[in-house]
Amino acid sequence: MKEQDIISGCKAGNRLAQKYFVETYSSYMFTICRRYIKREDIAKDCLQDTLIHVLKKMDKYNDQGKFKSWLSTVTVNKCIEQIRKEKRNLYSEIDLVAEQGIDESVSLKLEHDDIMRFINTIPDQYRIVINMFLVEGYSHKEIGEKLGLTESSSRSILSRAKKMINAAFKNESIIVIHKDASAIKKINS
């Protein structure tokens, strides 16, 4: 079934189109959920809530822009809503401090899963801002509006998150478990 057929079928309440929608887009949406939510079970719950929400609100998609972009935005918003439910006061204003520059010479080639494993170890506020800015492409102004932060706080959180990642790479403190290796090895910079 083509994307447009799925969309129009879902808008009309067609059960077959809804089934195709879930089969076609749930893995894409789950990937987004996992970037924002650490625990797999909660990410699955969030995916379920998002699928139901999208199916109920499919008429809100007005066929302008790419469907996947709209779907991504809805999924991110549901993830943020889920995170807010779990931690009502997660975000607080961060004192703006002069930030030291990041050593650009530090570079590692890690597989996507390794990076995601590491990103899941940093505090939620940093992980969420990194995802929104670097992966989803939100501006600091948009991040601030969605998370109830000032634009400068969003910039500060991103800067600190980059420093945390940089320090972990530099200090060789990232542990990677390779799928094809039974041993755990430390990445050397």
In tens, the pLDDT along 33-42 reads: 998 988 899 9
Percentage above 90 pLDDT, the chain: 39
Together in a domain, 117 and 48: no
Percentage above 70 pLDDT, the chain: 73
The arithmetic mean of pLDDT across residues 101-121, rounded, is 56
Together in a domain, 59 and 122: no
Together in a domain, 133 and 69: no
- Model pLDDT, residue 163: 84
Contact 17, 9 (CB under 8 A): yes
Together in a domain, 182 and 140: yes
Distance between CA atoms of residues 16 and 103, nearest Å = 53
* Residue 99 maps to a domain: no
Residue 14 has pLDDT above 90, yes or no: yes
Q: Which residues contact 41 (CB under 8 A, 6 or more apart)?
A: none
Together in a domain, 76 and 134: no
pLDDT category of residue 8 using cuts at 50, 70 and 90? very high
Select from 65, 33, 69 the least CA-distant residue to 51.
33
Residue 144 has pLDDT above 50, yes or no: yes
Residue 13's domain is classified under what CATH number?
Answer: 1.10.1740.10
* Residue 30 maps to a domain: yes
Together in a domain, 81 and 118: no
Residue 54, both tokens:
């999208």
Distance between CA atoms of residues 99 and 57, nearest Å = 43
Range of the domain at 55: 3-86
* Residue 82 maps to a domain: yes
**pTM of the full structure:** 0.60
Together in a domain, 137 and 73: no
46-105 pLDDT, tens digit each: 999 999 999 999 988 887 778 999 999 999 999 988 888 876 544 443 333 334 444 433
Residue 114, both tokens:
């390794």
Domain count, the chain: 2
* Residue 116 maps to a domain: yes
Poorest-pLDDT segment among 64-78, 105-119, 143-157, 161-175: 105-119
